[in-house]
Chains A and B, each alone.
Chain A
Amino acid sequence: MDNLSSKLLENAVMEFNRLQGVGKRSALRMVLNILNFSESEKESFIEAFRALKDDIHYCKICNNISDNEICPICANPKRNHAIICVVQDIRDIIAIENTRQFNGIYHVLGGIISPIDGIGPDDLNMYSLFEKAKAGVLEEIILALPTTIEGDTTNYFIYKNIEDCDLKITTIARGISIGDELEYADEVTLGRSLKDRIDFEQITVRS
C-alpha cells in the first residue's frame, strides 16, 4: 500500500493503522469513509477527537476517565465513599456498574503488574491507593483485578502494602473461572461474586 496517490491520504491511513486491531486495508476503508462525510460531519468527527485530547480528565479521586476533575461516581454523595473497589481500567467499572450490585466508589490502577509488558508498581496508580488506605477513613478495599497470575500478583502487592491498615481487604469470589477478565464475565456471575467477596487473608496462606 505504498503507492497511494496522495500523501495526505497516506498519512491519515497510517494514523488509523496505529490503532490496535486495525490493519492497513481497514484503515484505508475507514479513511475513504470519512472522506465521503459531509463537511459538517467531518467537523464533528474531528471535534470529538480534539475534545478528547484537550478536555478529558482523569478523576482526581479514582483516576477514572471523566469530563470533570471529579467523576460522577466520586461526586455522588449517595455512594458509600468508605468502600473502594480496585480495578484495572474503565472497562471493569462499566462491567461492575452494569451489575447494580455495588454502591461504593472505585480506584483505577491503569493496568496490572507485568514485567513482560514492562509494567511495574511505579507505572501504576498505586501509591495514592495506599495513602487512601492509611488515612483511616476506609472500611473496606475490594480487589477486583483479573484472576490471572498477574492479577493475583498485583493483589498480593497491594495487600502487602496495606495489610497493617485498620480496614477489611477482600477479593471478589472466584466464581469467575481462571483467566477470565472481568469485562467478559456475565452480569449475574459478576454480581454474585461481588456479593460473595471473601477476606483476602483467607486465600493467602502466608503473611
Chain B
Amino acid sequence: MHLKKLQLYNFKNFGEINLELHPKINFFVGNNGVGKTNLMDAIYYLSFCKSFHNSFENNNIKHNEDFFAIHGTYDDINSQDNVLISCSLRSGSRKIFKFNKKEYQRLADHIGLIPLVIISPYDADLINLGSEFRRRYFDSVISQFDKLYLDDLVNYNRVLQQRNVLLKTMFEQHRFDGESLKIWDFQMSELGQRINQRRIKFLGNLKPIFQEYYNFLTNGKEKVEIEYESQANDKNYFEELIRNHEKDKFAQYSTFGVHKDDYIFKMNDFPIKRYGSQGQQKSFLIALKLAQFSHTQNISKTKPLLLLDDIFDKLDENRVLQIIALAGDGKLGQVFISDTHLDRIESLFAKLELSYSCFDIKNGNIIQLV
C-alpha cells in the first residue's frame, strides 16, 4: 500500500499543493518552521482522522481562509488501486471524511484502513513524562486493532469515575459504606483483570521484536528491556480491591488498579531515563516504534506508512544509515522522511544507491528536486 498523490488546500501554512509521491522513499527538506511537520501531519491526518499535534480543529485551516481539504490517492488498499481518501473542514462545521467520495458514517470505520506509524521528537515524552503518557501510547497501539480492548478501557474508566465520585461523596458525608463500594468492585475487577491480561500479552509479543530492532540499530551494545509494572500482576484482583477499601477511604479515590500501571524502560537493568545517553534514548524509542511497525504489519497484513519526522539530529550517521537501509531491504513500505539538511540526505543516498524523491519546502511552497 502506498500514497501516490497528495493534494492540500489551505491546510495549516500551505495554500494549494499537489504532490506526486515516490512509492518507497520520500524526503521533505527545509529549515525549521517552513512546514515539513505540517506536511507529515497531513499524511497522518488521512490515517487517523485528526492532527498528530491534536490542535483545535479550526487551527488546521490556513490563516484568513475558511476551509481546508486534504486528498490522498492510494494504491493497493486491500488490493484496490486509486482509492481516494478526502478530508475537509469548513470553519465552524463538522469535519467530513470520504472514501472514494462517499462519506463515512463514523470516523471509527476509517481508522485502521491506512495503518501508519510516526517517529518524531515528541516520542521523547514517552521517556520523560508521567506514566499516563506510556499507558496512553500502549493503549492506542493495542486498541487500534482490538475493539473489545477499547470497549473494556472505556468501561473501566467509567467504573473508575463512578467509584471515585462515590468515595468522595462518602468522605464528605462522613459515612463509609464498604458494601456500596463493593458493587463497583465486581465490574472493576472483571474489566481490570482483562485489561491487565491484554497488556501482558501485548508486551510479551512486542518485546522480542523491540529488542531485535534495538540490537540491529546499535549492534547489540546494550541490553534493553520494557517491564510492565502493575499492582494487578499475579494478584486476585477482586480481593485486592476489597483489601484496599480502607486505603481508598482516606485517599478519597481508587488506589488499586490498572489505571496505576506503568511501563518501565530499562537499559542494562537501569531506568533509561536517568542512565541512558540522548543517543541511546533515541535508539530505544526508534526501536520501540519499529516494533510497533512490525506489530501493525502482522495484524493488518500490510506494511504501514512510516513517517520519520526530524529524527536524524543527534543520531549518529551509522544509525541513520541503518534505518534507511531497512527501507532498501524491503522491510519497510513507503517511508516519509523530513530533515533540515539537504547535503546530509544527498550524501546518505550516494552511499545507499536507492531511488527516492526529494521535495524542497520553502514558506508554504514545495518544489520537487529529485
Partner of B186, one of A113, A115, A150, A206: A206
Q: Known A115-B169, A178-B151, A206-B238; judge A149-B183 contact (CB<8 A).
A: no
- Interface residue tally of chain B, by bracket? 10 to 19
With CB as the reference atom, state the residue of chain B lying closest to A204. B186
Tell me which of A116, A120, A152 contacts B187 (CB under 8 A).
A152
Most buried by B among A115, A118, A120: A115
Is B162 touching A115 in the complex (CB atoms < 8 A)? yes
B103 within 8 A of A: no
CA separation between A160 and B181, bound complex, in Å? 13
Bound CA span A149–B186, Å: 11
CA distance A92 to B289 in the complex (A): 49
What's the minimum C-beta distance from B243 to chain A, rounded to whole angstroms? Answer: 15
Q: Does B326 contact A (CB under 8 A)?
A: no
Partner of A116, one of B151, B161, B180, B238: B161
- Is B165 a contact of A116 with CB atoms below 8 Å? yes
Q: Would A120 and B190 count as touching, CB distance under 8 A?
A: no
Hey, which chain A residues are within 8 Å of B165, CB to CB?
Answer: 115-116
- Contact of B166 with A by CB under 8 A: yes
Q: Which residue of B lies closest to A158 (CB)?
A: B183
Query: A115 contacts which of B151, B166, B238 (Cβ < 8 Å)?
Result: B166
By the criterion CB–CB under 8 Å, are A156 and B169 in contact?
Answer: no
Shortest Cβ distance from B182 into A: residue: A160
A193 within 8 A of B: no
Q: Are A116 and B186 in contact (CB under 8 A)?
A: no
Q: Is B162's CB under 8 angstroms from A150's CB?
A: yes
Of the residues B158, B169, B238, contact of A149 by C-beta under 8 Å:
B158
Quick one: closest A residue to B158, CB to CB?
A149
Q: Which residues of B contact A153 (CB under 8 A)?
A: 159, 162, 183-184, 186-187
Interface string of A171-207 (1 = CB under 8 A from B): 0000000100000000000000000000000001110
Chain A residues numbered 88-119 whose CB sits less than 8 Å from any CB in chain B: 113-116, 118
Please encode chain B, from 210 to 235, with 1 for each CB lying within 8 Å of some chain A CB and 0 for all others. 00000000000000000000000000
Assess the A205–B190 pair: CB atoms within 8 A: yes
Task: Assess whether B58 is interfacial by the CB under 8 Å rule.
Answer: no
Asked if B180 and A149 make an inter-chain contact with CB atoms under 8 angstroms apart, the answer reads no
A156:B186 contact, CB within 8 angstroms: yes
| A205–B158 CA distance with the chains assembled, in angstroms | 21
Task: Say yes or no for B155: interface residue by CB 8 A criterion.
Answer: yes
Known contacts A115-B169, A157-B183, A160-B183: A149-B162 contact under CB 8 Å: yes
Contacts of B190 in A (CB 8 A): 205
- A178 neighbours in B (Cβ, 8 Å): 151
When distances are taken between beta carbons in the complex, the residues of chain B under 8 Å from A118 are: 169
Judging by beta carbons under 8 Å apart, are B183 and A113 in contact? yes
B356: shortest Cβ distance to chain A, in Å? 47
Q: In the bound complex, what is the Cα–Cα distance between A118 and B166 (angstroms)?
A: 9
What per-residue 1/0 map shows which CB atoms of A19-48 lie under 8 Å from chain B? 000000000000000000000000000000
Kindly identify, within residues 161 to 190 of chain B, every residue whose CB is under 8 Å from any CB belonging to chain A: 161-163, 165-166, 169, 180, 183-184, 186-187, 189-190
State which of B151, B162, B180 has its C-beta within 8 Å of the C-beta of A121: B180
Give bound CA distance, A157 to B151, whole Å.
Answer: 22
Q: B183 contacts A116, CB within 8 Å?
A: no
Chain B positions within 8 Å of A121 at CB level: 180
State the CA gap A206–B151 with chains docked (Å).
21
Q: Provided the pairs A120-B180, A206-B238 are in contact, do residues A149 and B187 lie with their beta carbons within 8 angstroms?
A: yes
How close is B252's CB to chain A, nearest CB, in angstroms?
A: 13
How far in angstroms is the closest Cβ of chain B from A112?
11
- In Å, the complex CA distance between A116 and B166 comes to 8
In the complex, what residues of A have CB within 8 A of residue B183's CB?
Answer: 113, 153, 156-157, 160
| A residues near B180, Cβ cutoff 8 Å | 120-121
Q: CB-defined interface of B48-80 with A at 8 Å, one 1/0 digit per residue?
A: 000000000000000000000000000000000
Query: From residue B150, how far is it (CB to closest CB) to chain A in Å?
Result: 11
Bound together, the chains give a CA A113 to CA B179 distance in angstroms of 13
List A contacts of B163 (CB < 8 A): 115
The answer for the CA separation of A83 and B155 in the assembled complex, in Å, is 31
Write out the residue numbers on chain B whose beta carbons fall within 8 Å of the beta carbon of A115: 162-163, 165-166, 169
Q: Tell me, in angstroms, the Cα distance from A203 to B184 when the chains sit together.
A: 16
Which residues of B are found within 8 Å of A149, using beta-carbon distances? 155, 158-159, 162, 187
Most chain A CB inside 10 Å of its own CB: which residue of B159, B163, B166, B186: B186
Contacting residues, chain B, for A160 (C-beta < 8 A): 183
Distance between A161 CB and nearest chain B CB, rounded to angstroms:
10
User: Measured between C-beta atoms, what is the minimum distance from A148 to chain B in Å?
Assistant: 8
Q: Which residue of A lies closest to B157 (CB)?
A: A149
Q: List 14 A-B contacts (CB under 8 A).
A: A113-B183, A114-B162, A115-B162, A115-B169, A116-B162, A120-B180, A121-B180, A149-B162, A153-B162, A153-B183, A153-B186, A153-B187, A157-B183, A160-B183
Beyond A115-B166, A206-B186, 15 extra complex contacts between A and B, CB < 8 Å:
A115-B163, A116-B162, A116-B165, A120-B180, A121-B180, A149-B155, A149-B159, A150-B162, A153-B162, A153-B183, A157-B183, A160-B183, A204-B186, A205-B190, A206-B189
Point out residues on A near B: beta carbons under 8 Å: 113-116, 118, 120-121, 149-150, 152-153, 156-157, 160, 178, 204-206
